[in-house]
Structure 1
Amino acid sequence: MDKILFNKMEFWGYHGAFKEENTLGQRFYVDLEIYFDLSKAGHSDNLKDTVNYADIYKTTQQVVENEKYELVEAIAERLAAKILDSYLLIDEILVRVTKPDPPIPGHYQSVAVEIKRSRERANG
């Protein structure tokens, strides 16, 4: 299946299980793979036959920067559901949310959650 990729979008959010994370905030990276048939847009060269990249970015930004969750898993689920609900052309979406430098013991470059949801699963 065809896909559109959004790579390493960077946002500042106030998510986490610790009070400091909710107060100070931190960076989050989001990657999206959006699956649907791109042939109509490829032939027509018309924006109405695809999804608007700027709109997808704004939707992602709104969730990460304006909502609060304790878990990265919850951010990913919210993004998947909101994008699938908003863009009927999309059949399936993969969402990866990365939290760089998490406040956990040991040395970690990052932790990430990756989920894949389809229109059937999102609505059923």
Structure 2
Amino acid sequence: MSKIFLEDVKIYAYHGVLPEENIIGTYYILNLEIHTDLWKAAESDDLNDTISYADINDIILEEMKVKSKLLEHVAGRIISKINQNFPEVSYIKLKITKTAPPMQGEMKGASIELEKSFNPNN
């Protein structure tokens, strides 16, 4: 099993059901796990034999710019876009945390996590 991780990606964005969330915005923390075969890259030392985590980060940044009411929707779009661009991926797990949800009480954040398996190269 080979995995790529992007950990604690911090992005300012404007998601939420409440109108003020779409105006004020807040920071989101994203954690991503991707399963794919990395052994060819391990032998070749060639970027063309792997998935560039910079390309994955670009997808995350672009999709986080699109305002959504639900974090589930944002996560679903990110997962779908990664799958479209990288059919060799067999599994994606994405956790998105809203660091300042508009709720009473002190908390580190409110999170959702989506996981999806794919049949690679099909």
Tell me which residue corresponds to 1:84: 83
* Superposition RMSD in Å: 1.3
TM-score, scaled relative to structure 1: 0.91
Distance 1:103 1:52 in 2: 35
Of all paired residues, the percent bearing the same amino acid is 35
If each structure's helix is expressed as a fraction of its own residues, which one has the higher value? 1
| Unpaired stretches in structure 2, ≥5 consecutive residues | none
Distance 1:54 1:14 in 2: 22
Q: Does 1:110 align with 2:91?
A: no
Q: Does 1:32 align with 2:29?
A: no
| Unpaired stretches in structure 1, ≥5 consecutive residues | none
| 2:106 maps to amino acid | H
TM-score, scaled relative to structure 2: 0.92
State the Cα deviation string for residues 4-26 of structure 1 (Å, max 9, x = none).
Answer: 11001111111001111001111
Shift of residue 108, structure 1, vs aligned partner:
2.0
State the Cα deviation string for residues 70-101 of structure 1 (Å, max 9, x = none).
Answer: 11111111111111111122111110101112
Q: Size of the alignment, in residue pairs?
A: 120
Secondary structure, in 3 states, of the residue corresponding to 1:109?
Answer: coil
Shift of residue 115, structure 1, vs aligned partner:
1.0
Q: 2:101–2:110: 8 Å Cα contact kept in structure 1?
A: yes
Tell me which residue corresponds to 2:62: 62
Tell me which residue corresponds to 1:95: 94
